[in-house]
Each structure stands twice: as structure tokens, then as C-alpha cells.
Amino acid sequence: MGELDGVRFGVTAERRADDLIGALVRYGAQVQHAPTITIVPLDDDPQLRRGTEDLLAAPVGFTAITTGAGFRGWLDAAGGWGRRDALLEALAASRIFARGPKAVGALRGAGLREEYSAPGERNDELFGALASAGVAGARVAVQLHGTALPEFIDPLTAAGASVVAVQPYRWHSPPDTEPVRSLIHDVLAGELEALVFTSAPAATNFLGLADDFGRGTELRSALREGTVVCACVGPMTAAPLETAGIRTLQPERQRLGALVKLLVATLGR
């Protein structure tokens, strides 16, 4: 008998969904998989290439790396254009700020060293430290992942920085939204104990698709009641739900393994 025998979960992730679902199933959980976004790699995207060439046109004073996966994707894309070495050289000459251990691991794997790593793995820490470092008059390279983050980019520009933002990955709604429609139906029917989110875009689009289906108000109301646990891998992922007044469950460490252990401790029978 597993600790999660009979507990029903909805998983909204696309990336690493198999790892998450496999871990839950090993504890006996029943899992309904409904990816709420599709991540699109942009190796051939002209916007990413233009941003990279713009960055390389002049020295960079500061670099902000938000995700390890996004940074590695950026390097891979640059490698396809024959610009990987030039990009690494430009970033190495800058003061590098990272959003936690995953970003640090990607940087060090590429032979770069960070000056700062956000202790709580949060964007507000990352960009707060960057702004405090004195960016006025400097060119600042920012690697984004999934969202544009104007709430953090605009203050840098207002402080006098020249920001070059690149986004190696973007997201859009999945080609088939019926699994999400079914997931929303089951939440409202009381057939699930928990929803699991591993990215902010997935949480955002879950609510957005509910609106598209005409069930957004009903869904938000049901989730605010707290009968369904909304588990998120960290505060960045949880932000769209918390903003909507929905309480979330989060592990101390922003890792899938820690999230699964917390779910077992919270919902295990």
C-alpha cells in the first residue's frame, strides 16, 4: 500500500511531467495529466537571434540569468549560429547575477562564475540585488523564461540601464485543450484532491483557459474554498494563484522531489 493510495491529482506540467507523475504514482496516487501550456524552443527564432546580436554589439556590464534550462537553451541556439563562444566571452566580462542553484549550475557548466545567487530563488531577490549593484548607464543582459517580467525590467530601465532581454523559450496554449477542460470539470465536481503546478505560465494559463471555457469565476471560487490543494514548486509558480486569492502549498526547497515529499506528508493516508 502506498501513502497516496486513492488520492487523485491533476498535473498541469508539460516539461518533466513524466518525472513528477512517476514519483506520485510510485506512492500510489491516481494522476490525471492535463498540460496547460506548450513550451516552444526558439532555436530558429529571429527575435532571439536579433537580441543576441544586439547584446554582442557592445560590452555588457551586468547579466541576469533566471533559469538554468533557459540559459542552456540560449547557448544551444547561439551555437547553431556560430556565436556561442562570442556570447560566453561577452557574458564572462560582465557581473553575473543568478536566480538560485539551477541557474548557477548552468552558468558554471558553461565555464562562467556568478557574482550573486538569489538565496530564495526568487525574481524579486535577483532583480533587487541587480538594481542595488548600480546599473545606471550600464548595458544589462537579461535571460527570460516564459514571461516578459516587466515588473522587474522596467525599474532597471527607469534606473538608467540599457536592458537587452532575450527569451530562449516561449509558451502558448496546448494544441488540444480538452484534457484541461476535463481537469477543470473534475475539480468542480469534487473528483480531485490536489492540483500540481511547476511553472507560473502553467498556473496562469490554467486560469486563462478556465475563463475561455466560461468557468473561470466558478473555478476560482472553488479553489479559494481550499477543498482542493493547489501545490506549487515555489513562490514564482504560485504567484498567479496567490494573486487570484487562492492559497497554495509550497515546499521549502523549490524542487520536484521536495514537492512530492510535501504532498505525501500532507495528503498521505
**Spatial contact of 69 and 145, defined as CB atoms under 8 Å apart:** yes
Residue 161 lies inside a defined structural domain of this protein: yes
Please tell me whether residues 91 and 137 are part of one structural domain. Answer: yes
Please tell me whether residues 51 and 164 are part of one structural domain. Answer: yes
pLDDT at residue 198 tops 80: yes
Residue that terminates a domain, selected from 139, 171, 203: 171
pTM comes to 0.78
Residue 138 lies inside a defined structural domain of this protein: yes
Please tell me whether residues 61 and 23 are part of one structural domain. Answer: no
Residue 218 lies inside a defined structural domain of this protein: yes
pLDDT at residue 111 tops 80: yes
pLDDT at residue 43 tops 70: no
Number of domains in the chain: 2
Domain range spanning residue 224?
A: 8-37+175-267
pLDDT at residue 102 tops 60: yes
Please tell me whether residues 153 and 252 are part of one structural domain. Answer: no
Please tell me whether residues 63 and 158 are part of one structural domain. Answer: yes
Residue that terminates a domain, selected from 136, 171, 206: 171
User: 38-41 and 169-172: which strand pairing?
Assistant: antiparallel
Please tell me whether residues 167 and 240 are part of one structural domain. Answer: no
Instruction: CATH number of the domain at 75, please.
Output: 3.40.50.10090
Distance, in Å, from the CA atom of 168 to the CA atom of 68, rounded to the nearest integer, reads 11
Tell me the pLDDT of the chain averaged across its residues: 93
**Nearest alpha carbon to residue 103 among 134, 59, 144, 138:** 144
Residue 2 lies inside a defined structural domain of this protein: no
Name the pLDDT band for 98 (thresholds 50, 70, 90).
very high
Residue 233 lies inside a defined structural domain of this protein: yes
Residue that terminates a domain, selected from 171, 201, 236: 171
3-state secondary structure labels for all residues of the chain: CCCCCCCEEEECCCCCHHHHHHHHHHCCCEEEECCCCEEEECCCCHHHHHHHHHHHCCCCCEEEECCHHHHHHHHHHHHHCCCHHHHHHHHHCCEEEECCHHHHHHHHHCCCCCCEECCCCCHHHHHHHHHHCCCCCCEEEEECECECCHHHHHHHHHCCCEEEEECCEEEECCCCCHHHHHHHHHHHCCCCCEEEECCHHHHHHHHHHHHHCCCHHHHHHHHHCCCCEEEECCHHHHHHHHHCCCCCECCCCCCHHHHHHHHHHHHCC
Please tell me whether residues 137 and 246 are part of one structural domain. Answer: no
Residue 1 lies inside a defined structural domain of this protein: no
Distance, in Å, from the CA atom of 141 to the CA atom of 52, rounded to the nearest integer, reads 9
pLDDT tens column, 142-176: 999 877 889 999 999 999 999 999 988 778 899 99
Name the pLDDT band for 229 (thresholds 50, 70, 90).
very high
Residue 143 lies inside a defined structural domain of this protein: yes
Please tell me whether residues 65 and 148 are part of one structural domain. Answer: yes
Please tell me whether residues 19 and 128 are part of one structural domain. Answer: no
Highest mean pLDDT among 14-23, 92-101, 142-151: 92-101
Name the pLDDT band for 1 (thresholds 50, 70, 90).
low
Mean pLDDT value of segment 67-89: 93
Residue 153 lies inside a defined structural domain of this protein: yes
